[in-house]
Structure 1
């Protein structure tokens, strides 16, 4: 794992490139359940709907979306697990 633009190395990475809604969010949800509060998850996704779904999921589930960074068609989401 490499640090992101915030200088943080996430505790877990998920590659959801090529997966369509709702799979990126479902993968993120499953991964976050395995993390402790305060740990971070980076998920890479190219599903255009994920830019709506991931922030909404974080808001509803009590997680903090730290950043969303676009690189071509791929967006990297950095999420901090909530309590």
Structure 2
């Protein structure tokens, strides 16, 4: 898969879930958004391809805004704004 480059927002916090597999990245994300203020931008870095499905659904169901996502080979990056 070729690299998809996007303009990425500046993150207030970063969550690195590299090496973890479903459901761990989303569980860690759930805990992290509880610890950061509303309106903060969180960057999530992952290696699990399932995050391409799970993180957008997480944002949709919990009302967070998915600002951007990027794929670079086997590395997946997401930026969400907490609500």
TM-score by length of 1: 0.87
Q: State the aligned residue count.
A: 78
Unaligned runs of 5+ in 1: none
CA distance in 2, matches of 1:48, 1:54: 10
TM-score by length of 2: 0.87
Unaligned runs of 5+ in 2: 1-5
The answer on 1:30 being equivalent to 2:31 is: yes
Q: CA RMSD in A?
A: 1.3
Question: 1:5 Cα shift?
Answer: 3.1
Higher relative contact order (CA 8 A, sep 6+): 2
The runs of at least 4 aligned residues of structure 1 exceeding 4 Å deviation read none
